[in-house]
Structure 1
């Protein structure tokens, strides 16, 4: 079973047990929340599509972590005008684990309880899966002194 939910101006396809990173939601680690803007529900061959949302349906999730994303540098420049502006931005993020899909009341298909070994394992690298690697720093060659002129 899967659902398409809308939160933070974006749409996410989720199923029970998924870990998703979304824009910041109120709450602390361990809290349970219900995402009620469900756009679509799918279960095998059965598919429900909302116009625009499905009334009475929700996705229950547990907040794993509140954090921040990587810094994004915004640099503006106009050549030959001595105009340069440098700003940075770090987005507040929430890491969720989807526990149930169905009714808003929470009486939906629940996820099987994770085994103890899985519970102790770290979360599935939620921050960055495909991190951009920096190129190694270039070494500058030492400048040689100019040869002396013969007099």
Structure 2
């Protein structure tokens, strides 16, 4: 009986580990970020640069006009305040997985990615959540 309880506890703990590991992005970085002067219609970026980021590290890198996005996967280094994103450059680009580092400045609450990004919302809207989940990330860690 004791052996069965130990196995059940181990199995339960093992199932919890992947869900904890998926919380790769701290709450202060999740949501929708846009460049200065970017134009949105609701949560949809039309002009400028933006990052849509979920707590599990999945998201979109978007630029426009016209607005074009690529799925991404990200991870955050708290010691360096660096968010590393990986995306597939696709046809018309090098056609390979590309890593890009974005620096988070906690003092100004901005992300620096060649341009300064400001947080627009703390969460990604349900519409974009569905889109992010439905689009496969061709590159992973």
**What TM-score bracket applies, with the shorter chain setting the length?**
under 0.3
Q: TM-score, normalised by structure 2?
A: 0.26
Higher alpha-carbon Rg: 1
Q: TM-score, normalised by structure 1?
A: 0.25
* Structure 1 or 2: more helix by fraction: 2
* Structure 1 or 2: more strand by fraction: 1
